[in-house]
Structure 1
Amino acid sequence: MSVVRALRRAVAPVRRCAAPLLVEQPTVAAASGRTLSAAAVGGARPAPLWTLSRLASTAREVSRESDSGLLQVLKAELEHERKTYSQPKDVSRGPPKPWTLTDKPGHADIILRRSYGEEDIAVTCVYQPDAYGERHEDDEPQGSDEDDRDEESAACVNMTITVNKGADNPTLEISAASYGNEISIDHVYFWEDKNSRDALYDGPNFLQLDEELQAQFERYIKARGVNKDLVSYLFNLLEDKEQREYMRWLQKVEQFVRQ
């Protein structure tokens, strides 16, 4: 027997064994109602259509029930807040003159502006509930001096005061906080280039300045209207803004879930 014929005999059985895998198996799978991929993985059958339909229907029912429960609570909470809300008179009257207020719904910050000679003054306060909101029992040890503070003195308003003398001129920026009626300056920045601040020297530690220099900076901002009257208004305004933004949040979330 020639070598070629011997090779042909050896290969022929392989071809006959391999052929059913490529030709006959799809036919068997089709006859049994299964796809080729299902037969190839050991004959696993897909779930009947009625089972899949029932599962989808159950999932929709659970989703509707959960959405209905959430909508009910959101609506009840919103109605309660609207019934109990009333804007304080000093907030409705607006800021102390000559300040003007910018307060956009949905924005966390409020901005007060005024002119002082050739200067443009802006005071920006960001809504931060933890900064002036309720204090927790674990915040201070029992018997500490903090226990004697009332709610107003325990509250805090953080503010950024900017002083400009023209759009293209340098900016003096003062970071400050108010506890009760006291205003405390944290830092004084002087920005020569308002568009690039990363590599600029931002000023010394304020508490390390000479005490007289610190006092003069405090007089500087008070002369521009950042005083007790403004701080008192800010406390009431931010508390009112918290309430208004919470009601707006409830309304927007309810609308989203209802869609």
Structure 2
Amino acid sequence: MPKVSLEKVHKQISKKRGVLNIMHENSRDAHRLRKAGARVDRLSRHNHTVNRARQPYMDRIEYIHEAVQEHTEALTTEQMTEFVAQYIDRDTEEIQQLQSERRKGRPPSKREEALKERVQTEDREFTTGLWMPDLSDQYALTGMKNWNGHWSGLSAIKFIRFTKDGEKLASTFPPKSMPPSPPTLLSLPPASSRPPPLKVRYIYPKRTYPCTSDPRHCGYSIWTLADLSISSTGDVELLAKLEDELKHEKSSDIPEFKEQQEVIQEIIKANEWQVKDVEGEQEVVLSKKFGNEKISVSFTVADIQNISEQEDFDEASLSDDMGYQNKDGQEEGELPEPSFPARVNVTIEKPTNGAVLIQAVVQDGVFAIEEVSHFAKADLAAAQTAEKDWTRQSLYAGPPFENLDEDLQSLWERYIEDRGINAELATMIPDYISVKEQKEYLRWLENVKNFVGA
């Protein structure tokens, strides 16, 4: 998606302003700086999330890359099982050494606990399917031996999920549990970053009545007092400002806005979602079929109000923006702040078994499940009426998700990932909210402008 970098915006504004390198906080240049800075922050947050999620897989791939150098032919199922077992037990000697060095009665060190937890996690993954290259495929084996050490260099290698029973389950690169890479990041400036119009143009009502007290001199043959629109100076100024704001919004970032919509539509089409998006309504519903299940994902534009104050800058910060800033657009050592969270309700219905309602929050490309509830009647999960909503509130909703066993939490997360409720969707939803909010804001401006000018 074509974007103007923060450094380029600095140069453009400095060149235009020359020696007088100052600006008003509500000027268009200040708005451009806020927008470019917000994009740098958002990309940095996303990179931080992706790199953190990618690191365990990178460690695994580096181990496999070193271990397969001695192999010239594709591995059999038995050899792959032994290979994975050796991989999981690679730190056994260190664990035993740490245990022997620990005095009797002393608690284990953090290093020992971390290694044991990693072994348990990988062993559980091996039970259901460990994500790895398909070393039984000669091309995949050769690709791993010749791997260049970069994450992108794995895209041409076949990956599977290999189980303890020797079963090879189809998988993808990157694994579904990871957030999408930065190029798929969708971004649109939120409504809170809109600056007020730069000026007010004073206009006069287009409708005039060239009449005097004598009806015979009127431009119309018949008229009544009810036909006249009485407009005060305040009405005229309000109408002018509404028109100015509407014009400004329509002319701002039109190519980026259109491309934003195209990317969202590509994701929806690729995952076979049906969209219910009614003009003038806040709620959006995505739905699709998965076997005999009916899945719906609903969210609302109102959640854009959860955007933090991170994009609000005072004059001091704007002055700093015009000066030196490091390459990543952040102060050294500063941790990126999270993007705005959006609440999502996921409903999964089965013909004769009711429905499950999964309440979650999406943020930074992650679905954070808060509660999983089952209803014998599927219509209670949606609760379209006040009566059904009241009935649903009286039923047991299940324990808080964070109180569940960690293995159970992981399996629920994988359950929804298999149904397309994944990191790509979690990244798209906040951006869909931003796009829809922009459309609704333009529609609102048009409606109130027509009302005031009528």
TM-score by length of 1: 0.66
Q: Percent identity?
A: 29
**Cα pair 1:94 1:101 within 8 Å, conserved:** no
Q: Residue 291 of structure 2 aligns with which residue?
A: 117
Q: Which residues of 2 match residues 23-102 of structure 1 at below 5 A?
A: 64-84=232-252, 85=254, 86-87=257-258, 88=260, 89-93=262-266, 95=268, 96-102=270-276
Are positions 1:130 and 2:298 aligned together? no
| Per-residue deviation, residues 49-71 of structure 1 (Å, max 9, x unmatched) | xxxxxxxxxxx97x521111111
**Cα pair 2:363 2:427 within 8 Å, conserved:** no
CA displacement at 1:256 relative to structure 2? 1.8
**What code does the residue aligned with 2:249 have?**
E
**What code does the residue aligned with 1:254 have?**
K
Structure 2: distance between partners of 1:165 and 1:126: 25
Residues 237 and 171 of structure 1, relative CA distance in 2, 3 Å threshold? same
**Cα pair 1:132 1:157 within 8 Å, conserved:** no
| Per-residue deviation, residues 24-50 of structure 1 (Å, max 9, x unmatched) | xxxxxxxxxxxxxxxxxxxxxxxxxxx
Structure 1: distance between partners of 2:308 and 2:263: 19
Q: Residue 159 of structure 1 aligns with which residue?
A: 344
Q: Residue 428 of structure 2 aligns with which residue?
A: 233
**Cα pair 1:111 1:124 within 8 Å, conserved:** yes
SS in 1 for 2:407: helix
Structure 1: distance between partners of 2:279 and 2:309: 23
Structure 2: distance between partners of 1:220 and 1:132: 29
SS in 2 for 1:201: coil
**What code does the residue aligned with 2:346 have?**
I
The two structures, once aligned, show a CA RMSD in angstroms of 2.4
**Cα pair 2:366 2:427 within 8 Å, conserved:** no
CA displacement at 1:132 relative to structure 2? 4.1
Q: Which residues of 2 match residues 174-185 of structure 1 at below 5 A?
A: 174-185=358-369
SS in 2 for 1:124: strand
Residues 243 and 113 of structure 1, relative CA distance in 2, 3 Å threshold? same
**What code does the residue aligned with 2:306 have?**
A
SS in 2 for 1:148: coil
Q: Residue 417 of structure 2 aligns with which residue?
A: 222
Task: Flag structure 2 segments of 5+ consecutive residues without an equivalent.
Answer: 1-228, 314-333, 381-387
| Per-residue deviation, residues 172-229 of structure 1 (Å, max 9, x unmatched) | 0000112211211011111224243132111111111111111111111111100112
Name the structure where strand makes up a greater proportion of residues. Answer: 1
Structure 1: distance between partners of 2:416 and 2:246: 40
SS in 1 for 2:281: coil
Q: Residue 248 of structure 1 aligns with which residue?
A: 443
SS in 1 for 2:310: coil
Deviates more, 1:89-98 or 1:236-245: 89-98
TM-score by length of 2: 0.39
Structure 2: distance between partners of 1:132 and 1:124: 19
Q: Residue 142 of structure 1 aligns with which residue?
A: none
CA displacement at 1:94 relative to structure 2? 5.5
Structure 1: distance between partners of 2:300 and 2:310: 19
- Greater CA radius of gyration, 1 or 2? 1
